[in-house]
Amino acid sequence: MAFKIIHLNSVDSTNTYIDNLAKKGYPHGTVVVADTQTAGRGRFRRQWFSPPGRNIYMSILVRPEKTERRLSDFSVLPMLAGIACARAIQSVTGLPVCLKWPNDILLEEKKLGGILVESRIEAPGTELNAFFIIGIGINVNMKREDLPEDIKDMATSLYISTGREFSRELLIEEILREFFRLYEEFIAMGKGYIISEWQSLSTTIGRFVRCLLPDGREVAGKAIAVDEDGHLLVQTEGVIEVIKAGDVFHCSS
């Protein structure tokens, strides 16, 4: 799969920028990479820390063909992107990167990166006018002193973990190769294949977790699997809770 990379020095958000390109008709496989973001965002509109020249900030445009898959199948795109990132980082660095539900990339139990997928359906009910934006942020050469105080204990970078700098360009190319290879496998084999591959890289499955849900509820139990829609299944006392969205924290017990 060919992809076209657009490089920017600075942008408010790579997701916002590629959203505008998509609405102008830019094709599937368009990629925007920025050196820094002034208004990068993560899940639930949280700010994404984006110091210049240190990390990866990029977005991928996915524009499905009408006959490829049902729109509901594309719920696994965050998992697909996570697998691509984990495999690419492992290949380039040899580090034991793993995945945390729903969209975090972890190294040594600290957040190395995250994924934000946004969908746009321009004419509801038709697949032809739908597209998806996959935003990826990975901490590459950021030093510990670069981290804001409120995330120093939770976040890391490849440099912090190893004391070595890595080529962002090489990582980006490898992530994109993995992403589009996985995308073709997803189209051919379906979302069950992606879910299985994600679970093999997940550090959440089999762990005790605490889940803070958007409605304010808290669920605690053992994460036992993800279902066919990518939702997290948590075994509590006598009940299996289906977690569709929220913040998940790994617990020792």
Query: What's the pLDDT at 50?
Result: 63
Flag whether pLDDT at 5 surpasses 50. yes
CATH number at residue 234: 2.30.30.100
Average pLDDT over residues 145-158: 86
For the chain, the residue count is 253
Task: Give the pLDDT of residue 124.
Answer: 53
Check residue 126 and give its pLDDT: 47
Q: What span, in angstroms and rounded, lies between the C-alpha atoms of 156 and 158?
A: 7
pLDDT of residue 3: 81
Average pLDDT, stretch 15-42? 87
Query: pTM of the prediction?
Result: 0.90
**Domain end (from 160, 175, 201):** 201
pLDDT at 253: 65
Co-location of 140 and 26 in the same domain: yes
Q: Which of 7-16, 42-51, 161-170, 232-241 has the lowest mean pLDDT?
A: 42-51
Domain of residue 230: give its range: 208-251
Residues 178 and 223 in one domain: no
Do 103 and 194 belong to one domain?
yes
> In this structure, are 72 and 99 located in the same domain?
yes
Average pLDDT over residues 123-131: 62
Q: Are residues 77 and 107 in the same domain?
A: yes
State whether 48 and 15 are in the same domain: yes
Which tops the pLDDT comparison, 246 or 124? 246
Please tell me the total count of domains within the chain: 2
Reported as a pLDDT band with limits 50, 70 and 90, residue 150 is confident
| 168 shares its domain with 100 | yes
Same domain, 193 and 224: no
Residue 216 sits in the same domain as residue 197: no
Does position 77 have pLDDT exceeding 90, yes or no? yes
Q: Is the pLDDT of residue 125 over 60?
A: no
CATH code where residue 38 lies: 3.30.930.10
Tell me, yes or no, whether 215 and 136 share the same domain: no
Strand arrangement of the beta sheet that strand 110-121 belongs to: 4-11, 30-37, 56-62, 130-138, 110-121, 104-107, 98-100
Mean pLDDT rounded to a whole number for the chain: 89
Q: Are residues 173 and 237 in the same domain?
A: no
Phi, psi of 147 (to 5 degrees): -75, 135
H or E element at residue 132? strand 130-138
Residue 158 above 90 pLDDT?
A: yes
What letter does residue 38 receive in the DSSP assignment?
A: S
pLDDT for the residue 226: 93
Same domain, 9 and 122: yes
Strand-pairing partners, residue 27, are none
